Amino acid sequence: MSGPGTETVVKVTNLIKCFGDVRAVDGISFSVAAGSTTALLGGNGAGKTTTISILLGLLLPTAGEVAIFGGDMIAHRHRMLPRMNFSSPYVDLPRRLLVRENLTVYGHLYGLDHVKDRIAALARDLEIEPFLDKPTGTLSAGQKTRVTLAKALLNTPELLLLDEPTASLDPDTGDWVRGYLEDYQRRTGATLLLASHNMAEVERMCTQVFMLRTGVIVDQGSPADLVSRYGRSTLEEVFLDIARRRQPAAEERAREAGR
Amino acid sequence: MRAPAPHGRPPAAFSPRRIGAMVLRHLYMYRHSWPRVLELTYWPLVQMVLWGFITNFFVSHSTWVAQAAGVLISAVLLWDVLYRANLGLSVSFIEEMWARNLAQIFITPLRPYEMVLSLIVMSFIRTALSVGPAALLAWPFYDVWVFAMGLPLLAFFVNLLVLGWAVGLFVSGLLVRFGLGVESLCWLGIFLLAPVSGVYYPISALPGWLQPVSWSLPSAYVFEGMRAVLFEGVFDVGLFAWAVGLNGLYLVAGTAFFLVMFRQARVHGLLLQQGE
C-alpha cells in the first residue's frame, strides 16, 4: 500500500458559501494528503454536503479557493473532473436503463479507451455480473450501492468523494463495501474523502477527520487523537460532545485549573 | 502528482463522443419504454386525421381553402415540427431531472454546451420520428403530399426546427433554475407563439398592433412562406432570409439563457436538489 504522502490533493482555503442570510460553510480551510482517507463529520446542516458539492464543481462558493491536484477547481473544473469521481446513495442513475447501459454511457462520458473491458473488470470485482442486464431501478439497496460504486470507479479516480457510502446497507454489505474501498486505495494509491454518520466506519477507514458544526471546522485530527483528547472511548462519543458543544477533556481541565 | 487516470484521456474542450454518450443514454431509454415511443407518433397522427377531415369540409365550404387544399394539413404538420422540436429538447432535458441524474452527469467532463448539442440531436431524432409518419400518411388518407413542396419544405422544416430548439433551450433554462415546478412549460410554453405565428391564417388577419409582434418571430415568415408556395407557387427568398436571420438570434439567445441559468443553478446548489 502506498500510505498517505506529502503531496496535497485537495486544498481548501477560506471557503464560504452563503444561501441568502445563511452561511452554510463559514470560512473553512483544510487540506487532504495524497493517498489518505479523510472524513468530514458533523450533524445535519453542518456543511458536509455543501463542501463536497463545491469540491465536485456542482456548487459555486461565495468566496474562497479550492485547489484539486494543484489546479483551480472553481475556474477550471473540467481539467480535474476526469481524475475524480463521486458515489452517493442519494444520487440516482437512470432507473429504466440496464446497469450495463448506464455504465456504458458513463464510460463514454469519461472517454475510456475500452469501455466493455472496463465494465467487465469492474463487474467481476464488485460482483455485479448477475445483474448487469437488469434495469437499474429494480435493484436492491445493496446492489444499487455496488453499481453506483462501479460508476464511481469507471475512470479509476485518483480522488474519490463519498457521501455516506454505506448508508442503508446491512452490516455485512457495509463491511464488504468498506473492504473494497480500502483494497481499491491500496491498489491505486487513491485519495478518499468521505462524509459519513457512521463513526465506526470513520474510525476504521480514516487517517484524518474534520469535525464540522454550523459551517465551521471545530476540531480535527486522527480518530485516535480525537478520542484521546476528548477523553472518550469511541469517536461516536466525541461526535456527541462536539455536537453538544462540549470542550475536549484537556481544555476543560485547563479551564478548571484556571478558576 | 500522478498522470491522468490510466483508463482515461486528458479532456478535450469539445468531444463528439461525450455528445454521443448523452444521445445513447436517451436511445437506451426509448428502447425500454414503449409508451414514450408511442407518445412520439400518437399526437401528430391524431392531429393529421382531425385536420384532414376539417380540410375535406372546408374545401367545399371555403373558397380560400379550396384554392390550396393542402394548406391546413401542411400548416398542421409544420406547426408540429415546431412543437416537437421544442418538446424534443425540453423533454430530453427534463428526463434527466426526473431521473435525478443531473449531478452525476455534471461531475463528468461533459460541458454544458455539449449537453445543449446532445439535446439538439435528440430533438432532431424525436421530431423526425414524430412528424415523419404523419406526413407520409397524409398522402394515402387525404391526397396531400407535403413533400411536393420540395426544397422549400426543407427550408421551412429547418427554420421551425431551429426555433423549436431556441424555445426548448429557454424552457430548459427555466427548468434547471426553478425546478420541476415549471415543467408544464415544456408542453404549453410554445403555444404562446401559436396565435401570432399565422399558422392557419395570414398575418394580415391579425389586429394591426399585433402584427409587429408576429414579424419578430421566425415562424411568421415560415408560415407566410408556406402559403406563398401553396397558393402562388413562389418561394419567397426574402421571407426565408428573415426567418434564418431571426432564428440565428433566437438560437444564440436561447443557448445563452440556458448557460446563464445553468450557472445560476450552480450558485444556488440546484443540481443536487432537483424536484418541485
pLDDT (tens digit per residue) in B90-126: 999 999 999 989 999 999 999 999 999 999 999 999 9
* Enclosing H/E stretch for A153: helix A141-153
Q: Does B151 touch chain A (CB under 8 A)?
A: no
Residues in A touching B28 (Cβ below 8 Å): 96-98, 101, 105
Torsion B177-B179-B180-B181 (CA) sign = negative
A256 in a structural domain: no
Question: CB within 8 A of A147, min separation 6: which ones?
Answer: A93, A99, A102, A103, A126, A128, A131, A136, A139
Tell me, yes or no, whether A140 lies in a domain: no
- The Cα–Cα gap between A5 and B69 comes to 79
With respect to residue A149, please indicate whether it lies within any of the assigned structural domains. Answer: no
Confidence bin at A256 (pLDDT 50/70/90): low
pTM: 0.88
DSSP B149: G
Using an 8 Å CB-CB cutoff, list chain A residues near B5.
Answer: 82-83, 155-158
Query: Does residue A120 lie within any of the structural domains?
Result: no
Average predicted confidence (pLDDT) for chain B:
87
User: What's the start-to-end Cα distance of chain A, in Å?
Assistant: 49
Q: What is the per-residue pLDDT across B201-246, written as a single tens digit (0 to 9) for each?
A: 999 999 999 999 999 999 999 999 988 888 888 889 999 999 999 9
pLDDT at B63 over 80: no
B7 at interface of A, judged by CB pairs closer than 8 A: yes
Q: Which three cell numbers stand for residue A11?
A: 486544498
Tell me whether residue A217 is in a domain: yes
- Burial pattern B226-242, b for ≥16 Cβ within 10 A else e, equals bbbbbeeeebbeebbeb
**pLDDT, greater one: A98 or B5:** A98
Tell me which residue in A81, A94, A96 faces B109 most closely, judged by beta carbons.
Answer: A81
Number of domains in chain A: 1
Q: Residue B78: which of B159, B6, B150 has the closest Cα?
A: B159
Q: Does A79 touch chain B (CB under 8 A)?
A: yes
Containing structural domain, residue A72: 8-88+157-221
User: CA–CA separation, B159 vs B123, rounded Å?
Assistant: 14
End-to-end CA distance of chain B: 42
Show the cell assigned to A144: 444499487
CATH of the domain at A164: 3.40.50.300
Contact residues for B116 (Cβ-Cβ < 8 A; gap 6+): B169, B255, B258, B259
d(CA B230, CA B228): 6
Cα–Cα distance, B6 to A118 (Å, whole number):
11
In a domain, A81, yes or no: yes
Report the interhelical angle of B112-142 vs B237-268 (nearest 10°): 140
In a domain, A204, yes or no: yes
Contacts of B51 (CB under 8 A, 6+ apart): B72, B73, B76
* B-proximal residues of A, 114-153, CB under 8 Å: 114, 118, 135, 151
How many other β-carbons are positioned within 10 Å of the β-carbon of residue A81?
24
Helices (H), A21-82: 48-56, 77-80
The answer to whether residue A209 is domain-embedded is: yes
For CA atoms A187, A189, A194, A199, the dihedral sign is: positive
Looking at the complex, report in whole angstroms how far the Cα of residue B34 sits from the nearest Cα belonging to chain A: 12
- With beta carbons under 8 A apart, name residues in chain A contacting B118: none
